[in-house]
Structure 1
Amino acid sequence: MLYWAAVIFIIAICIAVFGFVGIAAGAASIAKILVILFVILFVLSLIVSGIRRRPRS
């Protein structure tokens, strides 16, 4: 899951670069959505990995 979060983050950065320099005006809004999606996936992956690594007594 962390792999896919990283892939989405890289895609969002690429789209943001094109959107913020004026190459594609609509890409900036797509980049914002992808960055939010990346943050959500990142937090979920941290929670899931924390639950899996918790030592059981």
Structure 2
Amino acid sequence: MLYWAIVCLIIAVVAGVLGFGGIAGAATDFAQILFFIFLVLLVISVVVNVLRGRGPK
């Protein structure tokens, strides 16, 4: 789960860079939404892994 959250966060950051920079003006809102959704998913995944006591593989 943590792996997928990081992958999706990276995708959202790339989409954000393209969208925030004006290259894809129509995608700006979509990129911002993706960025914050996957940022929240990343934080949730890290917290769950810490609470479970499982370290990285």
| SS of alignment partner, residue 50 of structure 2 | helix
- TM-score, normalized by length of structure 1? 0.73
1:21 CA drift (Å): 2.8
Aligned to 2:14: 14
Identity %: 48
- TM-score, normalized by length of structure 2? 0.73
Q: Which runs of 5+ in 2 are unaligned?
A: none
- Hey, what's the Cα distance between the residues in 1 that align with 2:52 and 2:5? 18
- Hey, what's the Cα distance between the residues in 2 that align with 1:13 and 1:39? 10
Q: CA RMSD in A?
A: 1.7
Count of aligned pairs between the two proteins? 54
- Hey, what's the Cα distance between the residues in 1 that align with 2:31 and 2:14? 8
Aligned to 1:50: 50
| Greater radius of gyration (CA) | 1
- AA aligned to 1:6 is I
Runs of 4 or more, structure 1, over 2 Å off, are: 20-23
Aligned to 2:29: 29
